[in-house]
């Protein structure tokens, strides 16, 4: 099962992905989490130690340029870069969960980061297509990643939204683009939901009922503020991660 997650910035997609990873691990699944957000912080959310020593691969410009075969002043680069050793050497593991921090190339000299992003996309595609565990992919916020085809190989896209019109507008845009690129399964997830009115609002505006509703949890907020790993939470989320996994498996 290869699951990607997206949504408007600030809707809590990284928190939900960490909770999902923790529940899958508790159920005995092997889990690979890929952090492909331009501002990655999945390591802290999962409680990975020594996060200050972790550098996203996207920030290793010289390494990416070398793998792409990029030379100064040349418009040509290697369309089939070797990435197997990068997948091996830059993988972190803790308590049965593996983490790869890709990040995303934002800028480059001359205004084009095509070769570097090509290497990142090759790594991402390889992990999605060849991994023998559950893969959870934390995407950047918004819709641009779908236009670049960076979720090719995902079985399911979870679109997180909160009960706000701006969050729902972004969620609907993401769903349209996901349908256009033919991701097999696209599902909405409600987050920061306080009451039945919030649930009704989301269902009405989205045109369908989200798979699950994550509560507006004081425990989650407190954990984030005190830098407690979200994955260790035992309260404030009720049984929602279990319900989400059950829903995903029921649709297989």
Model pTM above 0.75: yes
Q: What is the pLDDT of residues 201-233, one digit of tens each?
A: 999 999 999 999 999 988 888 888 888 888 877
Share of the chain above pLDDT 90, in %: 29
**Residue of 76, 92, 85, 114 whose CA lies nearest to 44:** 92
Residue range 133-138: mean pLDDT, rounded? 88
pLDDT for 109: 41
Residue range 141-169: mean pLDDT, rounded? 79
Residue range 18-31: mean pLDDT, rounded? 90
For the residues of 131-158, what is the DSSP string, one character each?
Answer: -SSEEEEEPPSSSHHHHTTTTTT-SEEE
Give the domains, in start order, of the chain with CATH numbers: 2-250 (3.40.50.300)
User: Does 173 or 146 have the greater pLDDT score?
Assistant: 173
Q: What is the pLDDT of residues 37-52, one digit of tens each?
A: 777 778 888 888 766 6
- Range with the poorest average pLDDT among 32-36, 146-150, 228-232: 146-150
Question: d(Cα 94, Cα 22) in Å, to the nearest integer?
Answer: 11
pLDDT for 160: 96
Residue range 5-19: mean pLDDT, rounded? 90
Task: Identify the band that residue 187 occupies on the pLDDT scale cut at 50, 70 and 90.
Answer: very high
| Close Cβ partners of 104 (under 8 Å, ≥ 6 residues apart) | 36, 37, 38, 58, 117, 120, 140
Any idea which residue has 């706000």 for tokens? 164
Question: In whole numbers, what is the pLDDT of the chain averaged over residues?
Answer: 80
Q: What is the pLDDT of residues 97-125, one digit of tens each?
A: 888 887 765 544 444 456 666 677 777 77
């Amino acid at each position: 099962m290869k699951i990607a997650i997206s949504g408007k910035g600030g809707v809590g997609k990284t928190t939900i992905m960490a909770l999902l990873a923790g529940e899958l691990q508790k159920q005995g699944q092997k889990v690979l989490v890929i952090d492909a957000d331009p501002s990655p912080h999945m390591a802290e959310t999962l409680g990975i130690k020594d996060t200050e020593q972790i550098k996203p691969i996207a920030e290793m410009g010289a390494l990416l340029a070398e793998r792409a075969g990029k030379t100064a002043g040349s418009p040509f680069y290697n369309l089939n870069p070797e990435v197997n050793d990068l997948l091996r050497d830059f993988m972190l593991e803790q308590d049965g969960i593996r983490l790869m921090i890709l990040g995303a190339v934002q800028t480059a000299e001359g205004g084009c980061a095509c070769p570097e992003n090509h290497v990142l996309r090759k790594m991402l595609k390889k992990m999605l297509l060849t991994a023998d565990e559950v893969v959870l992919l934390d995407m950047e916020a918004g819709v641009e990643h779908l236009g670049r085809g960076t979720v090719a190989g995902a079985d399911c896209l979870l679109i997180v939204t909160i009960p706000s019109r701006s969050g729902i507008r972004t969620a609907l845009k993401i769903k349209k683009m996901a349908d256009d690129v033919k991701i097999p399964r696209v599902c909405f997830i409600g987050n920061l939901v306080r009451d039945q009115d919030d649930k009704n609002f989301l269902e009405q505006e989205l045109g369908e009922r989200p798979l699950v509703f994550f509560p507006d949890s004081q425990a989650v907020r407190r954990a984030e503020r005190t830098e407690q790993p979200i994955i260790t939470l035992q309260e404030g989320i009720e049984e929602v991660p279990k319900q989400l996994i059950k829903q995903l498996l029921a649709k297989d």
